[in-house]
């Protein structure tokens, strides 16, 4: 009988957990081939735990590193110090990490120090600007230097890796696991935060949290949201506020009190999927939403100056509008007042996958580790 391959899957934030959940479930479904340990850093404690509960994933090791006001320095150090004894004790054949967080890079580095192979899910995304998004762009580039197996969600991501000198034999185009997770969550029962909104009202869903948008950019974004609500009387705005106090202070100061702007706490993944499905337009600086919304037929206006997900832009379902107040307002009002412009974005094809990415990833690793 073939010995089990021991795999450690590491995640620390909500987006990582969403995108790794289908991979973890696939590994555990194939328990005759893999012994799977789930290790969480809890870089984002509450948001991470929400997702793990939704997918009924129990953790094997919890580093619990989150501290108020934490910086990338502290996250990196605490992750390395926490993972070392776990990896030394368990000696996995492979460490799996996802995306571009500080947890991702630190997990890859810890594995490298112990000469453990690394698989990088959602590899090859590039914005071309090391400061946007910060620190994610450098996190994913450094992880690519370390990784042994690169699971690119699209051919464009694969091409980025090949241009950087990664061996073609180490790169696999799989689609994005976020579509796997979205399809699973879409079938789950649960309440919608927009259930009480009139059926004929249009919903503008807003999320913003990225570090490079803190301060003046966030102020401009929130002022733009107010302008849009004032200009479109049939629009109900739902602002899903990130728990970071720097973000929350700006959101509440600018948006609170407007009769058609509702500020809600970050909700569990399933209610958020239902909220995205109800939205007419999404304004966001999130990466994952740029991938999810095309499957739901919802146009996305990206509150950033660059995106590492150009496939959605090329397909026409995503538009990068930046952080200038006037530009955001103009783009949103165009979609709200021009049915043809709206339909072009709403019916664009989703370039991010078919919901079978996790199976492709685990199949590939079964062959590679065999």
Catalytic residue among 33, 136, 268, 291: 136
CA atoms of 172 and 184, how far apart (whole Å): 23
Is residue 122 part of the annotated active site? The answer reads yes
169 annotated active-site: no
In the set 26, 122, 268, 292, the catalytic residue is 122
Catalytic residue among 33, 61, 100, 139: 100
What three-state secondary structure class fits 275? Answer: helix
Q: Is 244 helix (H, G, I), strand (E, B) or coil?
A: coil
- CA 37 vs. chain centroid, Å, equals 22
Catalytic one of 209, 304, 309, 325: 209
Say whether 292 is catalytic.
no
Residues 6 or more apart in contact with residue 132 via CB below 8 angstroms: 212, 304, 305, 306
How far apart, in whole angstroms, are the C-alpha atoms of residue 370 and residue 368? 6
How far is 17 from 22, CA to CA, in rounded Å?
Answer: 9
61 among known catalytic residues: no
Active-site residue flag, 209 = yes
159 is catalytic: no
Alpha-carbon distance of 356 to 370, in angstroms, equals 21
Name the DSSP class of 257. Answer: T
- Catalytically annotated residue among 28, 29, 132, 211: 211
Q: What is the DSSP letter of 349?
A: P
Crossing angle for the helix pair 177-186 and 14-29, to the nearest 10 degrees:
80
Query: How many angstroms separate the most distant Cα atoms in the chain?
Result: 68
Query: Rounded to the nearest 5°, which phi and psi values hold at 94?
Result: -155, 140
Indicate which residues carry an active-site annotation: 100, 122, 136, 209, 211, 242
């Amino acid at each position: 009988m073939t010995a089990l391959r021991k795999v450690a899957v590491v995640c620390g934030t909500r987006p990582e957990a969403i995108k790794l959940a289908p991979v973890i479930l696939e590994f555990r479904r194939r328990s005759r081939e893999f012994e799977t340990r789930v290790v969480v850093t809890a870089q984002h404690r509450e948001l991470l735990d929400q997702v793990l509960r939704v997918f009924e994933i129990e953790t094997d090791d919890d580093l619990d590193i989150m501290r108020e006001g934490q910086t990338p320095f502290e996250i990196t150090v605490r992750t390395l110090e926490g993972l070392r004894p776990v990896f030394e004790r368990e000696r996995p054949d492979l460490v799996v990490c996802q995306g571009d967080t500080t947890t991702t890079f630190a997990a890859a580095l810890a594995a490298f120090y112990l000469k453990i192979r690394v698989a990088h899910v959602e590899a090859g995304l590039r914005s071309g600007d090391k400061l946007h998004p910060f620190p994610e762009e450098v996190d994913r580039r450094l992880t690519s230097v370390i990784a042994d197996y690169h699971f690119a969600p699209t051919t464009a991501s694969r091409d980025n890796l090949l241009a950087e000198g990664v061996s073609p034999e180490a790169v696999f185009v799989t689609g994005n696991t976020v579509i796997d997770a979205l399809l699973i969550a879409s079938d789950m029962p649960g309440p919608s935060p927009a259930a009480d909104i009139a059926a004929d009202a249009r919903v503008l869903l807003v999320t913003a949290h990225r570090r490079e948008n803190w301060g003046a950019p966030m102020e401009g974004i929130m002022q733009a949201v107010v302008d849009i609500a004032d200009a479109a009387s049939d629009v109900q705005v739902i602002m899903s506020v990130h728990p970071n106090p720097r973000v929350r202070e700006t959101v509440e100061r600018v948006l609170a009190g407007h009769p058609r702007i509702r500020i809600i706490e970050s909700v569990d993944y399933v209610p958020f999927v239902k909220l995205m499905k109800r939205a007419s337009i999404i304004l966001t600086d999130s990466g994952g939403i740029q991938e999810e919304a095309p499957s739901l037929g919802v146009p996305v206006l990206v509150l950033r100056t660059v995106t590492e997900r150009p496939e959605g832009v090329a397909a026409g379902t995503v538009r990068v509008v930046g952080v200038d107040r006037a530009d955001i307002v103009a783009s949103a009002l165009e979609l709200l007042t021009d049915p043809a412009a709206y339909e072009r974005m709403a019916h664009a094809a989703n370039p991010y996958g078919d919901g079978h990415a996790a199976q492709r990833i685990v199949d590939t690793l079964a062959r590679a580790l065999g």
